[in-house]
Every structure is written in structure tokens, then in C-alpha cells.
Amino acid sequence: MSKRQLAMVMDLNKCIGCQTCTVACKTQWTNRNGREYMYWNNVETYPGDGYPKKWMELGGGFDAAGDLQEGIIPNIEADYGIPWDYNYDSLAEQNLIGNKADKDGYGVHGAEKAGLRPNVEPTWGPNWDEDEGKGNFPSDNYFFYLPRICNHCTNPGCLSACPRDAIFKREEDGVVLVDLDRCQGYRYCIAGCPYKKIYFNPKISKSEKCILCFPRIEQGLPPACAQQCVGRIRFVGFLDDEESQVYKLVKKYKVALPLRSDYGTQPNIYYIPPTEAPAKFDAEGRIIEGSQRIPMEELETLFGQEVHEVVKTLKGEMEKRKKTGESEILDLLISYKHSEMFRLDNNYYQEVAKAKGAHPLAPIDDRYVKGKNTTEITHFKAHA
Amino acid sequence: MRRIAKSIVATAFVASALSAEGSIVAAKIGNDVKPAQLKSSDKLWSKAKESEVTLYPQTTIKMNDKKGNAANAENKAKVAKVAALYNDKCIAFRITWPDGTQSIQDGTASDKYPDGFAVQIATNFEDAKKLPYIGMGSEGRPVLVHLNKAVTKHYEPNGNKDVALQVNRDNTNAFGDDLKKFDGDVANAAKTHYMRSFISEGFRSMTEIKDDSSKFNMTMDYDTKGKAWSGTLGRPLSDANIDLSKAGAVPVAFAVWDGEKMGRDGLKLLSTWIAVDLDGKKGNEELVKELTEAPKGNAESGKANVEAMCTSCHTLSKEKVAAMPYMAPNLSNIGGYSTAAYLAESIADPSAVVVPGYNRNAHKNFAWYNVDDKGNRTSTMPPMMTDKAMIDDAVAYLKTLKAEVEK
């Protein structure tokens, strides 16, 4: 267990599945050098197969006795989906619908000319089943978006599976990282992670994963996925910082829950479960008053029994707000300001750097630097 | 008269020892030859006598890859042929092992694995009874491991600051000749071989030697007709990590991985310590004797004791599974890859060699050892037997625990 733990809360009621987080992460970290197929951050439709395909059925994590479970390593084409490309030359030829196969295999053999075609026949990819969900449209269909990054677990399955001690959890903030120098590309970590959020980079033959944007955090910037989120659904802060909104949502008001905590890895990414969905319709298309489109069993699968209490609290707070106009929880969840949602404790990181004998880097932005050990910083006064 | 009889017996013993399983004779070659440049097809290998080395499936610990475990569940032992050459400066090995499929890791898949082989050498073998633990050494008894795998181009992080070459060609600003140059530079940044050497004091501690202090060469060639790999290793007799210049015999172990069966790391076949007798050089006779001698004890009575005393923690075979399967090394192939001396030492003094075992976080309730403040590891196993004859019997039985050889 690390000395402190940095955590993230995601409010699923507000996620609109726009994938801005996904793209922010991809352009920052995974658009090159063997990482093209990886999505350290992805947003999947739940219920659905997710990414990689049926990840919840691929094993890993711990059983009730605390023993690491066997897992399956997904295949790039079949389970992740490979990034395909197009023969853009056909655009210059103004030939979009031709069917002839060219020398590289674009198009269909026997046709006269190749039109705009993917260079491989894709069979699966992230978001392959986007917005499908379950149920019948329009009477009782339902789905919601589930953004996922590495959970930076307190008891990581990947770390426990590594036979080379190449994975470690940072003492200062609990970020789980791969030491690429020690990694030998065995991939037991992928089998061990129940969330399948550690990936094999075949080009360099080593495992890679979400790093919680630690180089940004150390300089006072929130992770790219969190800062770019247009719905402001992501809160970032230390779990021991009682002023942080993360602390308040997770520990004080207990409305944020970890995903699949039954895997036993003690994840540190928390979710506000989705409480808001339209009511169901009857056969004539009339609203069934008081009906619940998202079955509680689905939420129980994801967030455990505690979800009942959380939904009750959230519904209660909404009622309270309607009646009195007051609710601190809802004020938090509205997320008025980024500067309140992110508390990255920059002085703490500066002290950690000094203690390691490294040169502390000055923060790039002064808005998110506050924290338990940061009321004022040397460069400028933190905003009240 | 009695003395003469004794010496005849001794000579007879040495002669039989040299041809027995457990030893290889390294033939001396001229000093003009550089074994580091020997390919597997080189004619010089005909000078060396090939010896059979049996490679047993590693079952000491079970890895957590479900498909990999299923693919390796019914593994049998394989017989490899090993030849060795040496001169005053270098030593070279050639190992040929059967493998029905040629698996090459080509840098596009997340779930494909390469065939490979490794040669492990003990760095200190003065005491033939205290060789390093066969599975990549043990604390205070380091080993040097030379590893080669069948891979095509790969681009491991190299510290050469060539990050500009890591972007995709579509993301560069280059066109025409500039793009061709970019492609060329990228191709040059690739590695096409996977030769590595490691120092290790027990698995998990294995650390790659990256300071150029280990100069060696390895090759791997697949014979598609004979369905077998042939791998060579050539290295100096001495370097900063190991000094074999004064040795008369050297303990060496071999391991092979089958990519088809998702082999890597612990999913492998390995040999026990083999004495490589440097032909014509004196010294380390004890080592050869130790590694070739048949166990003295009575396996029958050993069986009864081991089954009675050890099976709550140790699995002995598919039929005799431990009551607590995560508690201790699985012994079902222990006779294949462990030496008699190691087994005897571990029974009498379990903390003499502590196998690191699982990542301690993977099975927290089954700690194989405890660590004190100073980092000293004490085995969870109490000394079970003290009587010498009883230990000999147990060792004789444990030496029979091994998979049968694949036909």
C-alpha cells in the first residue's frame, strides 16, 4: 500500500459518451509506436461487450480467499480490434464506390476499380456495440456509458501476476507503473488484471498501461482525460485530502463506488452510479410512472450491494434540493469549476521530488495545485 | 592389492560417469577459433560428442495464464542433444531440441509467443553440493543466464533518444525522399535478434546485463524437415560476471520455450544442472561426480515418508495434489530438474535455499517464506527430517518424480 492514494471519481449520470477523454488520452499517449490499438482510456456502452471484448469474462483478479485467479490474454484482431486505414488515393481519383481490389488488397477482387475501402476487414473494435444496450426500443431499452481507465488498484492484479517484479505502485501517490527496463513481455499482467487495462505493446515487446498522466500531475495539470472532459464528470484528488471533492464523494458522502470491487483488487477509480433514466413505456407508448429503465441488478453487478444505498442517497438529495434548494452533494456533482474538481497538491510533489534528489518542476498551471500540503505555493498564492 | 582394486573401481566409476546422463564433454579446439562466431552448421561441431540432456516441464509454480496452463498441462519431457567446445579463451554450446512448430514473434500480435532457449551457468560452483537453485539461482548463489528467442524486428526502448522515429509515418511531415529516409531510419532502429544475458539470484530477481560486461553470441536455426531447433551460444571463458578459466568442469543448465504452447518465463522445459567437463583440464572432479552419481537411498521407503510428511503443502503428482496447493513448490517434476544435493540440503535446512515462489501479493495467505527487517528470508517449511538415511531415502524418491519423455 502506498503512503497516499490519488483517486478519480467519474459521474456516470453526466457521461454523454462523446469520447473526448478517449481522444485526449490517445493523442497524448497511444497514437504511436505499437500502442495504436490500445485505449488506456475508453468509454464503452453498458450493457455491452466492452473493450476488450467481454473483458469481464476474461478472468484475473482475486477470489474471496485472496488468491490471484487465472486469466486470458486477449487477441488484437478479435478482441481489441485493429486500427484500420483507408486507401485515400481513391479520393483523389474521385472514386469512392469502385470495387476492384488493388495490389495491396484494398477493395474486392474482380471489380473494375478500387473505391474507398478499409485495408483490412474489421470484425471488432472499441465501441463496436456502441449504444446497443439491452431491451426493446422504445418501451424498455436502456444503456449508459462507462468510461474506464486503469484503476490504479491498492492490490493490483497486474503487479501480483508479474514474475519479474517489473510493475510497481508509486509510494507517493499510488500510481501503478510498469518498469520497462525490467519488463520482459511475458504478459501475465494482462491475465492478472481483471479490468484488462494493461496492454501488450507488440512493437517493443513490453506491457504498457495508463500512467494517470503522472508527468502532468507532477506539474499541476490534471490527467488529460479529466481536463478535457466536456461534461466535467471527472474529479481528481487525494483520498486523504478532506478538502478534495474526491474525498467528499467517496468517503464523506459515500456516493461514489469502485467498479467490480468483487475482483478484490481495491480499485481507486470511483463512479457515481447512473440514477437518471427515462421511465419505461407501455404497449401504447404511455409512460409507466415510477418505472426504472436501468435494472438495479445491472448496477449491483458493477458496483455491488452498496449501490442501493447510494441510489437512495442521490434520489434523496435531489428531493431535498427540490424542496429546500440546498444540497452539498448536488453542488459537488454539478462541478461548477475545474479548479475545485482537481486538487493535485503541488507542494507535496515538489517535496517528493526534492526528497528523491530530483529537480522539482515548477507547476504549469496555478489553478489545480491546492491540496492537503498546498495552501500557498512559492510561485504564487493558490486561489482561495 | 586392496589398494589396486579400489583404484580400478574408482577408474571404472569415472569412466561410466562421463558417459552418464548429467555430464557433457567439451572438446578442446584450437585457439585460433572464436567460438562466439560458430554457427550451428559449422563443421567444428563434429569434434564434439553430442550428449543427451532431458528437459522437464517446469511445474514448481503455476503461472496465471489460463490458456497457457491448459496448453502445457500434459507436457512431457523432451530430449535435447548438446555439444560443447572450448579453447583457452572461449566456450561454446550447441543445443538441438525437437519442436514440431516454428513460432516466431513478429511484433503484431498480443497473444503470440516465440520459441527460444537459454543456457544458465552457475557463477560459483566451488562447493558442488551447494549449487545455485536450478530456477534462475538463489540468494547468495547467482547464476548467469544467456537467453535467445525467435523474434523478427522489434523496437525496445533503447535510450538513444530516437523518439522522433517512434511516430507513425502518416504523422510525420515528410514526403517523397524524406519519407523514404524516415522509413530507412526506422528500419535501422529495429533489433532483429533477442540475445540477452541476465544475472539472477532467484526468479523475479533476474536483471538484464546492460553495461556491455557480458559479450556473447547466440544463434537459432530451425530445421523444417527434422522439426527441430538448433541453438548456439558462444562466450568468453571469463568476463566481469563469471570466471571459468581455471575450471575443469562447469555446471550448466538448459531451458527451451515452445511458442506454440504460449511458452515464456515459467512455461518452459528445463534440465537439471549438467556438468560440462572441459576435456583435458583438471579440477572440479567432485562436481562431475555429484551431478552424475545415482542417489544412494531407498526410494521405496522414501516414498512412504514423503507422502506422509510432505503432501499437505507439496504436490507430488497429478494424483497426489497438496491439500494447500499454493503453499509450497509443486514437486511433480522435481526429480527431473533438481540435483540430489539440493534436495538433501532443502530437506535438512529449508531456509538454506528459499525459492522466491509466487509474487507474495498473489497468494497472501500462503507465504513460502518470511522476511525479517534485514531482508533475510526464512522458509515457512520446518526442517522435516534430520536422520541422514531418511533424507537419502526421501531424495532417492524425489529424484523419481518427473514427467516421462516424449516419444
Residue of chain A minimizing CA distance to B165: A33
Report the b/e string of B324-363 with b at 16+ CB within 10 A: eebbbbbbbbbbbbbbbbbbbbbbeebbbbbbbbbbbbbb
Q: Tell me if B134 sits within 8 A of B143, measured CB to CB.
A: no
Distance from CA of B219 to the nearest CA of A (A): 20
Average pLDDT of span B81-98: 96
Average pLDDT of span A13-19: 97
Please report whether residue A29 resides in a domain: yes
Of A65-74, A111-120, B170-179, minimum mean pLDDT range: A111-120
DSSP one-letter code for A30 = I
CB contact under 8 A, B110 and A73: yes
Q: Could you list the beta-strand ranges (E) of chain A.
A: 6-11, 42-46, 144-148, 167-169, 176-178, 198-201, 206-209, 234-238, 257-258, 269-272
Residue A102 pLDDT grade (very low, low, confident, very high; cuts 50, 70, 90): low
> Average per-residue pLDDT in chain B?
91
List of residues 6+ apart from B186 with CB closer than 8 A: B165, B169
DSSP one-letter code for B89 = S
Q: What is the pLDDT of residue B355?
A: 83
The Cα A206–Cα A164 span in angstroms is 12
B138 forms beta bridges with B141
CB-nearest partner of A192 from B64, B111, B364: B64
Q: Of B121, B119, B117, which is closest to residue B148 (Cα–Cα)?
A: B117
CB-based contact, B364 to chain A, within 8 Å: yes
Q: What is the pLDDT of residue A219?
A: 94
Residues of chain A with C-beta less than 8 angstroms from the C-beta of B111:
73-76, 187, 200
Residue of A85, A165, A198 for testing the chain B interface, max B β-carbons within 10 Å: A165
Q: Is the pLDDT of residue B280 over 50?
A: yes
Residues of chain A with C-beta less than 8 angstroms from the C-beta of B148:
none
Structural domains of chain B, ranges and CATH numbers in brackets: 16-154+191-292 (2.60.40.1190), 299-398 (1.10.760)
Q: What is the pLDDT of residue A300?
A: 97
Cα-based angle B294, B295, B298 (whole degrees, multiple of 5): 130
Q: What does the pLDDT look like over A27-50, one tens digit per residue?
A: 999 999 999 999 999 999 999 999
Q: Is the pLDDT of residue B96 over 90?
A: yes
Q: What does the pLDDT look like over B136-145, one tens digit per residue?
A: 999 999 999 9
The Cα A198–Cα A208 span in angstroms is 6
Q: What is the pLDDT of residue B20?
A: 53
Q: Is the pLDDT of residue A322 over 50?
A: yes
Q: How many beta-carbon pairs below 8 A join chains A and B?
A: 122
Count how many Cα atoms sit within 13 Å of the Cα of residue A225 in the half-sphere of its side chain. 31
Please report whether residue A239 resides in a domain: yes
Average pLDDT of span B72-90: 96
Most confident of A86-95, A265-274, B26-35, B317-326: A265-274
CB contact under 8 A, B69 and A72: no
Q: What is the pLDDT of residue A232?
A: 97
Residue A112 pLDDT grade (very low, low, confident, very high; cuts 50, 70, 90): low
Q: Is the pLDDT of residue A352 over 90?
A: yes
- B77 vs A380, residue with greater confidence: B77
Q: Is the pLDDT of residue B299 over 90?
A: yes
Based on the structure, what is the number of domains in chain A?
1
Residues of chain B with C-beta less than 8 angstroms from the C-beta of A180:
157
> Average per-residue pLDDT in chain A?
92
List of residues 6+ apart from A92 with CB closer than 8 A: none
Average pLDDT of span A317-331: 96
Output phi, psi for A151, to 5 deg: -85, 0
DSSP one-letter code for B296 = -
B251 forms beta bridges with B275
Q: What does the pLDDT look like over A139-169, one tens digit per residue?
A: 999 999 999 999 999 999 999 999 999 999 9
CATH number for A40: 3.30.70.20
The letter for the amino acid at A91 is L
The Cα B311–Cα B318 span in angstroms is 12
Distance from CA of B100 to the nearest CA of A (A): 22
Q: What is the pLDDT of residue A377?
A: 63
Concatenate the DSSP letters of all residues of B103-133 into one string. --B-SS-SS----EEEEEEES--SSTTSPPP
Count how many Cα atoms sit within 13 Å of the Cα of residue A34 in the half-sphere of its side chain. 26
Q: What is the pLDDT of residue A315?
A: 95
CB contact under 8 A, B157 and A188: no
Distance from CA of A180 to the nearest CA of B (A): 8
Structural domain of A258: 6-69+128-340
Residue of chain B minimizing CA distance to A73: B111
Please report whether residue A263 resides in a domain: yes
Q: Which chain B residues in 75-134 lie under 8 Å from chain A, judged by CB atoms? A: 105, 107-111
CB contact under 8 A, B66 and A71: yes
CB contact under 8 A, A71 and B167: no
Please report whether residue A369 resides in a domain: no
Please report whether residue A186 resides in a domain: yes
CB-based contact, B157 to chain A, within 8 Å: yes
Q: Tell me if A238 sits within 8 A of A5, measured CB to CB.
A: yes
Q: What is the pLDDT of residue A123?
A: 87
Q: Is the pLDDT of residue B10 over 50?
A: no
Concatenate the DSSP letters of all residues of A231-250 into one string. T--EEEEETT-TTSHHHIII
CA B108 distance to own-chain centroid: 28
Please report whether residue A115 resides in a domain: no
Q: What does the pLDDT look like over B374-392, one tens digit per residue?
A: 888 899 999 889 999 999 9
**Crossing angle of the two packed helices B340-348 and B388-398, in degrees rounded to 10:** 130
